[in-house]
Amino acid sequence: MTETAANFIARSTIKAEDLDHRRKINFNIGRYNAAVPLGKQQFAEMNLARERAKNIKWRAIGTLDEQLEQFESVFTKRGGRVIWAETAKQALDEIAVICKEKSARTIVKSKSMVTEEIKLNHFLEENGIESVETDLGEYIQQLDGEPPYHIVTPAMHKSKEDVAKLFNEKLNTRPGLTPEQLTLVAREKLRKKYVEAEIGITGANFIISDIGGIAVTENEGNARLSTAFPKTHIVIVGLEKVIPTLADLGLFWPLLATYGTGQRVTVYNTVITGPRQPGEADGPEEMILILLDNGRTNILASPKARESLYCIRCGACLNACPVYKNIGGHSYGTTYSGPIGSVITPHLREMQEWKHLSYASSLCGNCTEVCPVKINLHELLLDNRYEAVQDGYATWQERVAWKVWRKASLSRPMMNMGNQRLKNWVVNKAFGAWTAHRDKLDFAPRTFNEQWKEARAGRGGAAQPKTDKSPSGGAALPRKSPRGGKR
Ligand code: SF4
């Protein structure tokens, strides 16, 4: 087992037993579950909307090169600049150059998972630049020195009491402030930073190809302030975020709002098509967009995993996942957690190092069920497992155990061999990694085949019939299985 996998299991084991954590998560996800059905009421045909969204993303990802070139051509005509970054390091180096050019000391940031992915805050800190998160949830996490817990609600695991305590410790506020008072404290601190900052950094929810713009959706107005006050606006966005036309937002904005938070539409929705134009009253003097690959083209190259690039980061699959709800977002040790994180991380990073996440699933399919763009998440998890085995990343114990299991499953004499105790001992020993965190496997005292023979013998039937009849009296079954093993 790799060290990353061992750490994941250690963190998950601790979190799964933390009842206080479970209570907070269940409370917050419960509120989400109550809101989403209300948001869905705005769609006359929910399923059709999801199908359409999937088709639009299918087209966008299938023509990704054309869509991005179209975007770049229009965006640059309006004075924007596009930087293509293949890796996180390239993106960070480009940001360092811009910060130097602008003599930046302070940066205001609006919530962006891509900046988490490239560890931007850490990089800026190392370079002596203050980077301030302006989304309230992100601000709370930054104060606490923690990464986001959830891709939509970064501080989902904290209660209002936790936040009041944190503000008291870090900002010296009065103990026991209410959520409204806490928000006012954060607002007062952040307003000063918007004015001071030389650069504003945001992500983008969508890259709109036909108009050469980006769409940003948020509930607090902090992204607008981060783009409007500083003279330079940097956007960092994964290259899969593209949609072909402005009209597509008519579907994607309500879909993202409903599946993300249960709203009909998010409070602030902004389309930005470049820096401030002559005659305009506000906006940055310069706008630079960094298109990040960082492993996404590996996913694009995989015919199966490719559909994970349709993701609009609504977070619904996290909220629906029984594993996520028990082990929490931080146990994954990745930027993207939950089902979608388990699907994409082994491709964005390394399959060998991160394949264990594909096993962090009950395969119940709830994630697939709730995904607004109908990504077959649970099947993609199985595909990852398959790919890991094909690439030779299964341990030798695993390989031997499954070989023996397969041989035994296909052989009736082997299945009937030994008593219940012996079988329990052998199998639980062989699948120790499985049973370490689950109930032990327990065989029936006698196999179905043995019971069947006895039942037939008791009814006066032959002890060794040539064919078996199904209990319901259905068609006779051959004594050999299709794979050639004896039944
Ligand atoms: S995979 Fe689907 S449900 Fe999960 S975050 Fe992405 S769009 Fe939402």
pLDDT tens-place string over residues 119-173? 999 999 999 999 999 999 999 999 999 999 999 999 999 999 999 999 999 999 9
Separation of alpha carbons 29 and 8, rounded Å: 23
Q: What is the mean pLDDT of residues 434-447?
A: 84
pLDDT band at 447 (very low <50, low <70, confident <90, very high): confident
Question: Alpha-carbon dihedral of residues 225, 229, 234, 240, nearest 10 degrees?
Answer: 30
Please say if the pLDDT value at position 486 is more than 80: no
CB 257 within 8 A of CB 249: no
**Atom 2 (ligand 1) nearest CA:** 371
Q: Which atom of ligand 1 is nearest to the CA of 343?
A: 1
Please say if the pLDDT value at position 473 is more than 50: no
Concatenating the DSSP letter of every residue in 42-85 gives T-SSHHHHHHHHHHHHHHHHHTHHHHHHHHHHHHHHTT-EEEEE
Q: How far is the CA of 121 from the centre of ligand 1 (A)?
A: 25
Q: How far is the CA of 64 from the centre of ligand 1 (A)?
A: 19
Q: What is the mean pLDDT of residues 317-326?
A: 96
Concatenating the DSSP letter of every residue in 188-244 gives HHHHHHHHH-SEEEE--SEEETTTTEEEEEESSSHHHHHHHSSSEEEEEEEGGGEES
- Mutate which of 56, 61, 312, 368 for ligand 1? The one with the most ligand atoms within 8 Å of its CB, which is 312
Mean pLDDT is lowest, of 238-247, 341-350, 460-469, for: 460-469
CB 68 within 8 A of CB 242: yes
Q: Which atom of ligand 1 is nearest to the CA of 314?
A: 8
CB atoms under 10 Å from CB of 434, counted, come to 15
Q: Which atom of ligand 1 is nearest to the CA of 310?
A: 7
Q: Which atom of ligand 1 is nearest to the CA of 367?
A: 3
Q: What are the residues facing 217 on neighbouring strands? A: 269
Q: Which residues, other chains included, contact 139 with Cβ-Cβ below 8 Å and sequence gap of 6+? A: 132, 133, 186, 190
Q: How far is the CA of 343 from the centre of ligand 1 (A)?
A: 11
Residue 230 CA from chain centroid, whole number: 31
pLDDT band at 415 (very low <50, low <70, confident <90, very high): confident
Q: How far is the CA of 183 from the centre of ligand 1 (A)?
A: 29
Please say if the pLDDT value at position 483 is more than 50: no
Query: So what's the pLDDT on residue 429?
Result: 84
Q: What is the mean pLDDT of the chain?
A: 92
Query: So what's the pLDDT on residue 460?
Result: 61
More confident residue, 70 or 486: 70
pLDDT in tens, 260-269: 999 999 999 9
**Atom 6 (ligand 1) nearest CA:** 311
CB 388 within 8 A of CB 346: yes
Please say if the pLDDT value at position 251 is more than 60: yes
With a Cβ cut-off of 6 Å, ligand 1 is lined by 259, 311-317, 340, 370-373, 375, 377
Query: So what's the pLDDT on residue 461?
Result: 53
CA angle (183 as vertex; 142, 217 as ends), nearest 5: 75
DSSP-derived secondary structure letter, 426: H
**pTM of the full structure:** 0.87
Angle between helices 338-348 and 377-390 (to 10 degrees): 30
Q: Which atom of ligand 1 is nearest to the CA of 315?
A: 5
